[in-house]
Amino acid sequence: MLNLFAYRLCSRLVRMTAMWACLTIVFFAYSEDFQGSTHKVPYEDEVIDYDHRVSSDRVAQLQRKLENGEIRLRFDPKSGYLKAILEALEVPKSSQMLVFSKTSLQRHSISPSNPRAIFYNDDVYVGFIPGAPLMEISAVDSNLGGVFYTLEQTEKQPPKLLRSTECLQCHGGAKTLGVPGHLVRSVATDETGELDSQNEVSGITHCTPVEDRWAGWYVTGTHGQQTHRGNLIGKAAFQKQAEQPNYFGNLADLSRFFDVTKYPEAGSDIVALMILEHQAHMHNYVTRLNFEALIKLKQYGHVRYLKTQMNAFLRYLLFAEEALLTSELRGNPEFVKRFTARGLKDKQGRSLRDLDLQTRLFKYPCSFLIYSPAFDNMPTAVRDQLLERLYDILTGKDQSPDFAKLRTEDRENILEILRDTKGNLPDYWRRPIDKATNE
Ligand code: HEC
């Protein structure tokens, strides 16, 4: 009897210890890393007031111009307002990427033979499905983060870009760092595009190894021996990929899968995908830090509790945990040309938009979104601390192991580029650096 009791007590203790061990791992993973902290920020409450605050993003500005007749959008019988919208919002068609998993408000219209096209620039994302009733558009606002709109694909003068909060069920929670924002999934599908949720790699960012990316997406461009999960439709395709890696890799053309003439471009560009995955998460990060700072300032009058978050933010900004490439990537040269042309160049002609694509995404690993209005719009208390820490990291004064992967020459190059190209930096950024003391 006693033995049985002892046995039960013992097995209970083992179970409890195991449970605690699990909880501890989860707790540490979350507390140590802001990147895992996805609880929803209360952005409907008064401090942010997401639902009621007027947005001044690029789409809201276009809507105003449509209302007062400053601009007209031409309707095309085949693709509706797509071409006119891309032009009006200055989104290059060469950024086209195609996703066939049924991951959208209009899931019924998406399939491997009718994928959803996504286009983007630095602050607008446009979703287009041939034949679907709506175009889905998101924009970045410095105060609100992602702001979402629909546009009916029927001819109307003037057409109306309608702000929607319905989109937040997917774009405003755990998958978007708990703020209104952008997301990219890599979830396998069956032959119809229906999700196989057991087969998902979640939280796709620049930290995700290429081999885990793009399930549910088409991918064009070359990537050498590296494998990825794109262009695989249904279980059999995944099985074949396991036996014969890259049998649908390094594709230039997608016409074997669907009628490519329904889209402005023929491909789903690998380089555009890579940059999207960096950028979407970076946008969410800026929004999250901004929201958290505003809430903390209101609550306590300071942002001292955000140290860990700022550290994680800088790690992402500086690509500290970027997944490295094992072969060169090559995509649509037109996309690369347009993307890099927008870079602010330093005295030596270098910019944060210069691409490497051999072993990593960028030549100088610091996000170009450091120039974005949303970054500069963060409360001064946070921006000052971020810039101070960034300066210490780049000058080598801060030798935190979190940034150990950032080579000395990377630090020097980024510092020089930012000094020449980023406005409103604090004065100490411009002072000559005494290498001996690193001050
Ligand atoms: C059922 C979930 C869901 C809903 C609801 C939803 N989306 Fe999305 N959306 C996604 C997913 C998932 C992606 C990323 C593509 C992928 O990986 O499949 C995405 C991507 C996008 C993108 C490309 C940029 C980005 O964020 O990655 C735009 C633009 C977009 N959605 C707009 C909208 C708009 C506008 C609405 C509301 C009218 C909406 N979405 C509603 C799931 C959803």
Q: How far apart are the first and last CA of the chain?
A: 72
Distance CA 69, CA 57 (A): 19
Query: pLDDT band at 433, cuts 50/70/90?
Result: confident
Tokens of 90: 């200055």
> Which pTM was predicted?
0.92
Tokens 């507390």 correspond to 31
pLDDT digits (tens, 9 = 90+) for 296-322: 999 999 999 999 999 999 999 999 999
Q: Is 139 in the pocket of ligand 1 (CB under 6 A)?
A: no
User: Is a pLDDT exceeding 70 seen at residue 151?
Assistant: yes
pLDDT digits (tens, 9 = 90+) for 326-378: 999 999 999 999 999 999 999 999 999 999 999 999 999 999 999 999 999 99
- Choose the weakest-confidence range: 211-215, 296-300, 371-375, 432-436: 432-436
Ligand 1 atom at shortest distance from the alpha carbon of 134: 38
Tokens of 168: 């937040």
User: Is a pLDDT exceeding 90 seen at residue 1?
Assistant: no
> What is the reported pLDDT for 435?
57
Which residue has a Cα nearest atom 41 of ligand 1? 167
From 55, 105, 141, mutation site for ligand 1 pocket: most ligand atoms within 8 A of C-beta: 105
> What is the reported pLDDT for 25?
35
> What is the reported pLDDT for 302?
95
Q: Is 228 in the pocket of ligand 1 (CB under 6 A)?
A: no
**Nearest Cα to Cα of residue 428 among 368, 384, 396, 398:** 384
Distance CA 226, CA 385 (A): 39
Tokens of 298: 């209101």
User: Is a pLDDT exceeding 90 seen at residue 211?
Assistant: yes
Residues with Cβ within 8 Å of residue 131, at least 6 apart in sequence: 109, 114
Percent of the chain having pLDDT more than 90?
Answer: 87
What mean pLDDT comes out for the span 88-114? 96
Query: pLDDT band at 26, cuts 50/70/90?
Result: very low
User: Is 60 exposed, middle or buried, given 0-12, 13-18 or 19+ CB atoms closer than 10 A?
Assistant: middle
> What is the reported pLDDT for 272?
98
Q: How far is the CA of 394 from the centre of ligand 1 (A)?
A: 36
Higher pLDDT, 433 or 170: 170
User: Is a pLDDT exceeding 90 seen at residue 397?
Assistant: yes
> What is the reported pLDDT for 199?
94
Residues with Cβ within 8 Å of residue 409, at least 6 apart in sequence: none
| Average pLDDT, rounded, for the chain | 91
> What is the reported pLDDT for 404?
94
Percent of the chain having pLDDT more than 70?
Answer: 90
List Cβ<8 Å contacts ≥24 apart for 398-405: 400/311, 402/311, 402/315, 402/320, 403/314, 403/315, 403/318, 403/320, 405/320, 405/321
> What is the reported pLDDT for 39?
86
What mean pLDDT comes out for the span 77-96? 98
CB 241 within 8 A of CB 97: no
Ligand 1 atom at shortest distance from the alpha carbon of 127: 29
> What is the reported pLDDT for 434?
63
Q: How far is the CA of 104 from the centre of ligand 1 (A)?
A: 5
